[in-house]
C-alpha cells in the first residue's frame, strides 16, 4: 500500500537572545530610567559643550547691567557682575558632573577591587580590609573632608580623590558579600579544578556576576558625590574661585533668599535636583534590569 506523501511545514523557531540583549531590552522599557538617561544626556551635552552652545562667553561681564531677572536676552537672568547666568551654570556644571562621574568610577573601582579580594581570599586579608572599612565608616565624613580639603586645597582633582577615599567603603562591603556567595558556586569549583588562578577566577568568572552591583553603585555614587560637593562648597570647603560649580554658586547666593535676586539661588539648586533625580532614576532602572526577580 502506498502511503500519501506528507508535506512538512517548517515551524519557525524563536531566535535565542543573549542575556545581555535581554537586560538591554528590559532597561530600554524602563520609562523612568530612559527619561533620566535623556535628561542626564542633555545636561552633559549642554555643559561639556558649553563653549559652543552657551549664548555668551564665560565670565563675560556687563557691570552696567548688574543683576537682572530672566528675560528674552538672558533666559535665566544675570548675576551681580552682569554675567549671563545660564552660561555660568553650564560652565559650572562641567566641574560638578566631572566630580560626580570621577568619584563614582574611582570609588566603585576601589571598593569592588578590595571587597572582592577580601571575600575571595578570606583569613587575615579579609580581616585587615574589613577593619579598614569599619575605620572609614565610623569617622564623620563631612568633618574629615573639610579638614583634608582645608589642608591640601580644594581643586576638583583633590575633591575627587578625597571623596573617593571616603565613598569606597559601602561598595566594598557589598562586593565582599557577593563574592562570598559566588565562591560556593559550582562554576568556581570547576575553575579551581582545571587550574585557574585566583586572579583569573575573580576577573573572568566573578566580576561579570557583579555587573549589576557595580552599575547601580556607580549611579548612586555619582548622585551622592554631587550632593556632597555641593554641601562642601556651601560650607566654604569645596570648589573655590575662579573655578565654579553648582554648589559654589549656591554658596555665593546663600544670602539672597527673600530678595529679588533669589533666582541666583533657585536655578543652581534646580540643576542639582534635576541631575540627582535623573541619576537615581537610571540607578533604579539598572537595579530592575539586573534583578532576575523584577517584573517591571
Per-residue model confidence as pLDDT tens digits over 237-252: 778 877 888 988 888 8
Q: Which three cell numbers stand for residue 97?
A: 558632573
Q: How far apart are the first and last CA of the chain?
A: 58
Q: How confident is the model at residue 292 (pLDDT cuts 50, 70, 90)?
A: low
Q: Which pLDDT value is given to residue 14?
A: 42
Check: CB of residue 243 under 8 Å from CB of residue 95: yes
Partners of 84 in the β-ladder: 78
Mean pLDDT of the chain: 83
Q: What percent of the chain has pLDDT over 90?
A: 21
Q: Burial level of 223, CB count in 10 A (0-12/13-18/19+)?
A: buried
Omega prior to 242 cis, within 30 of 0: yes
- Helix locations, 29-84, DSSP H: 31-48, 50-53
Q: How confident is the model at residue 291 (pLDDT cuts 50, 70, 90)?
A: low
Q: What is the mean pLDDT of residues 136-143?
A: 76
Q: How confident is the model at residue 139 (pLDDT cuts 50, 70, 90)?
A: confident
**Phi, then psi, of 295 in degrees rounded to 5:** -100, -20
Class of the CATH-defined domain 95-290: mainly alpha
Q: How confident is the model at residue 13 (pLDDT cuts 50, 70, 90)?
A: very low
pTM: 0.83
Return the SS3 of 84. Answer: strand
Find the Cα–Cα–Cα–Cα dihedral 241, 244, 246, 252, rounded to 10°: 30
Return the SS3 of 111. Answer: helix
* Domain boundaries along the sequence of the chain: 95-290
The CA R_g of the chain, rounded to the nearest whole Å, is 25
Check: CB of residue 216 under 8 Å from CB of residue 283: yes
Lowest mean pLDDT among 181-190, 191-200, 283-292: 283-292
Amino acid at each position: 500500500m502506498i502511503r500519501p506523501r506528507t508535506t512538512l511545514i517548517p515551524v519557525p523557531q524563536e531566535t535565542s537572545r543573549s542575556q545581555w540583549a535581554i537586560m538591554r531590552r528590559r532597561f530600554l522599557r524602563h520609562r523612568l530610567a530612559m527619561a533620566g538617561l535623556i535628561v542626564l544626556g542633555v545636561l552633559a551635552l549642554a555643559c561639556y559643550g558649553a563653549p559652543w552652545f552657551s549664548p555668551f562667553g564665560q565670565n563675560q561681564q556687563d557691570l552696567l547691567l548688574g543683576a537682572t531677572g530672566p528675560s528674552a536676552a538672558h533666559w535665566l537672568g544675570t548675576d551681580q557682575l552682569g554675567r549671563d547666568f545660564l552660561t555660568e551654570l553650564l560652565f559650572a556644571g562641567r566641574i560638578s558632573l566631572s566630580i560626580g562621574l570621577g568619584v563614582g568610577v574611582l570609588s566603585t573601582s576601589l571598593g569592588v577591587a578590595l571587597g572582592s579580594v577580601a571575600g575571595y581570599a578570606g583569613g587575615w586579608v579579609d580581616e585587615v580590609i574589613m577593619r579598614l572599612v569599619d575605620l572609614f565608616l565610623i569617622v564623620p565624613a563631612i568633618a574629615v573632608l573639610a579638614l583634608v580639603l582645608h589642608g591640601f586645597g580644594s581643586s576638583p582633582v583633590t575633591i575627587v580623590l578625597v571623596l573617593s577615599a571616603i565613598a569606597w567603603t559601602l561598595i566594598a562591603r557589598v562586593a565582599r558579600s557577593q563574592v562570598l556567595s559566588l565562591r560556593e558556586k559550582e562554576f568556581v569549583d570547576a575553575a579551581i579544578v582545571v587550574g585557574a588562578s585566583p586572579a583569573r577566577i575573580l576577573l573572568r568568572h566573578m566580576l561579570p556576576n557583579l555587573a549589576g552591583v557595580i552599575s547601580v553603585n556607580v549611579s548612586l555614587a555619582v548622585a551622592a558625590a554631587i550632593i556632597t560637593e555641593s554641601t562642601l562648597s556651601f560650607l566654604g570647603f569645596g570648589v573655590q574661585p575662579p573655578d565654579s560649580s553648582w554648589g559654589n554658586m549656591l554658596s555665593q547666593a546663600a544670602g539672597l533668599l527673600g530678595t529679588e535676586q533669589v533666582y541666583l539661588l533657585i536655578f543652581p539648586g534646580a540643576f542639582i535636583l534635576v541631575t540627582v533625580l535623573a541619576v537615581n532614576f537610571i540607578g533604579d532602572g539598572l537595579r530592575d534590569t539586573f534583578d532576575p526577580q523584577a517584573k517591571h
